Structure formats: C-alpha cells, structure tokens
C-alpha cells in the first residue's frame, strides 16, 4: 500500500463524537492514578465504573480511566502550552508538510502526535528527558542524526522518520507503532502488542482518536461542499433559458 491517501486509509476508523453531558466543570485539574501516572484535564464526567477526562475544550478529546484507579484530584495551576501561532505556526506547518512528503505519513497524524507529545511546545522537556515537539530522547535523536532536538524542523523530521521505521517494523499496525514510540519497541515485543501501561494506552487512544476525528471532520466538509455544488448545478439547469 503506497501513497499518502492509502497510508491514511488503513488507520481511519469511525469515531463517534460524544456530547459533553453531565460533566463537572473545573479550571484545570490533575488526576493521580493508582499506578502513579498523572493526567491534566479541564473537565471530567463520572460514568460509574469509568471516569471520562476531557483534556481540553474539545469534547472529542478525552480519555477514559477506571474510577477506582483515581487516588487524588488536585488543582493544577500550571499553564497549558499555547497552540502555535504566527511565525511559529507557519514554521511548524512547513515542518509537518515536509516530513509528510518525505515519509508519506498523513500530516494530520503527525499533528496529532505532536499534540499528544508536547502540546506544540518546541521547548518541552519530559521528566525522563525527552525533548522537543515529538519528544525525542537524546539517544534516539543522536541515532537519527538530530543535532538540535529543540529545532522544530529537525525534531519533526527525526520523529517522523523514527515513527515511519516503527510502522514498517509492525507492518503498518498503528497501535503497535504508537505504543513503541511511547514505551519503546522492547516493551511491545515483551507484551506481544500494546503494553499494559496506562500512560501508553492513553497515548495510543488519544492520538488515534484525534486523527480519526480530523478525518471525519474533513469528510463532512467534503460532503457539504459536494451537496452545495450539486444544488448550484441543479439550479442552473432549472433556470429559465438554460
């Protein structure tokens, strides 16, 4: 399967955008789970055995966790990294477009990964030392020839090349490739698939959901445009003197 359209097709699956109902409203809170992981979110919705955490104002961007696994909820005053604007946005869009052309990865997939990895912050550094937009570990960056992981173009280039290698290794299995990008190929091999790490499962689900939602929105836009074009064509045919 080759080409950008085909690469997008095998990952696309229907994703229902659920309405935000009976949701508790907060500023930004931090949930601490029993396994030690923390999840920053803006609102949450208790659904019995599970609690839905809405990561931002988009109701389609959420993760579900077991209610019993939540051991603490605290206010989080740390400001979220802003989405890219102005020159930074143009630089990032250019870096994504270049990487997409080189690797045949869908640009929306790359953007979804960057959102999950760093919230579009080119200076992001994780507690484990991962750096930049696509959170490259120093050793990984060195193997990929990325000299400055805080350079947006170099980081996106290296991150997409690495992810493309993972996709090829797992025969285009998106979930396994994302899990390997997050937790390491050795963990995917150890568990013969997505490892049972809550952080990794949340990451995989978040990227795929956001990517699918973008594709759904694009398909709806195309359908509306096609319907409008057909309506205009029908009006021209039925107009007097046509």
Can you tell me the distance from the alpha carbon of 226 to that of 181, in angstroms, rounded to the nearest whole number?
38
Among 45, 117, 168, 230, the active-site one is 117
DSSP helix/strand/coil, 139: helix
Give all strands of the β-sheet with 24-33 in edge-to-edge order.
62-66, 50-54, 38-47, 24-33, 70-75
Residue 51 CB neighbour total at 10 angstroms: 21
Can you tell me the distance from the alpha carbon of 209 to that of 168, in angstroms, rounded to the nearest whole number?
21
**Long-range residue pairs from 233-239, CB within 8 A, at least 24 positions apart, any chain:** none
- Name the burial class of residue 194, with classes exposed (0-12), middle (13-18) and buried (19+) by CB atoms within 10 angstroms of its CB: buried
Give yes or no: 230 in active site. Answer: no
Give the max Cα distance, the chain. Answer: 74
Can you tell me the distance from the alpha carbon of 83 to that of 65, in angstroms, rounded to the nearest whole number?
26
- The answer to whether residues 136 and 144 touch, using CB atoms and an 8 Å cutoff, is yes
For the annotated catalytic residues, the residue numbers are 117
């Amino acid at each position: 399967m080759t080409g950008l359209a085909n690469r997008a097709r095998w990952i696309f699956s229907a994703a229902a955008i659920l309405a935000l109902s009976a949701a508790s409203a907060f500023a930004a809170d931090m949930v601490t789970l029993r396994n030690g992981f923390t999840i920053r979110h803006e609102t949450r919705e208790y659904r019995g055995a599970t609690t839905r955490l809405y990561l931002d104002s988009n109701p389609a961007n959420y993760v579900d966790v077991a209610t019993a696994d939540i051991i603490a909820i605290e206010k989080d005053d740390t400001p979220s990294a802003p989405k890219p604007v102005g020159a930074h946005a143009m630089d990032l869009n250019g870096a994504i477009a270049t990487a997409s052309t080189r690797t045949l990865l869908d640009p929306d997939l790359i953007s979804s990964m960057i959102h999950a990895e760093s919230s579009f912050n080119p200076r992001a550094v994780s507690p484990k030392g991962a750096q930049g937009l696509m959170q490259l570990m120093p050793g990984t960056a060195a193997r990929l020839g990325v000299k400055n992981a805080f350079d947006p173009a170099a980081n996106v280039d290296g991150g997409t090349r690495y992810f493309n290698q993972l996709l090829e290794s797992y025969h285009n299995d998106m979930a396994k490739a994302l899990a390997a990008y997050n937790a390491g190929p050795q963990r995917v091999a150890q568990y013969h698939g997505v490892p049972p790490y809550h952080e990794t499962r949340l990451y995989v689900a978040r990227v795929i959901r956001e990517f699918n939602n973008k594709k759904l929105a694009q398909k709806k836009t195309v359908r509306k445009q096609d319907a409008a074009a057909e309506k205009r064509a029908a009006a021209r045919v039925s107009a007097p003197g046509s």
